[in-house]
Amino acid sequence: MTYIMGAFEKVQIASTSAPYPPRDPDDEVFLLCAIDGRADCLVSEDKALLDLKPKYSSPIIGSSGELGPILSA
């Protein structure tokens, strides 16, 4: 567990809303975490988040199948 935890970074969410919020309000926290944490990518299988792909250039939003090959290269 310690090895895995070293790969993560704690993010303090400061934003109160996303520029383009997802349809499902429960998903917004994941988007805000990616935005405030300045993540390169947001990997999700959630349709409400994946529907936002065209609206965001950063973070890049995609499924594991779409982003997995890019991130492992």
pLDDT at 69: 83
**Structural domain that includes position 32:** 24-73
Residue 38 lies in a domain: yes
pLDDT along the chain (73 residues), means of 10: 74 95 96 95 95 96 90 74
Which residue stretches of the chain are H helix? 2-5, 28-36, 47-50, 64-71
Domain count, the chain: 1
Instruction: Give domain status of residue 3, yes or no.
Output: no
What distance in Å separates the CA atoms of residue 2 and residue 10, rounded to the nearest whole number?
14
Note the pLDDT of residue 1: 60
Burial class from Cβ neighbours inside 10 Å (0-12, 13-18, 19+) for residue 52 reads: buried
Q: Confirm whether 52 is domain-assigned.
A: yes
- 7 occurs within a structural domain: no
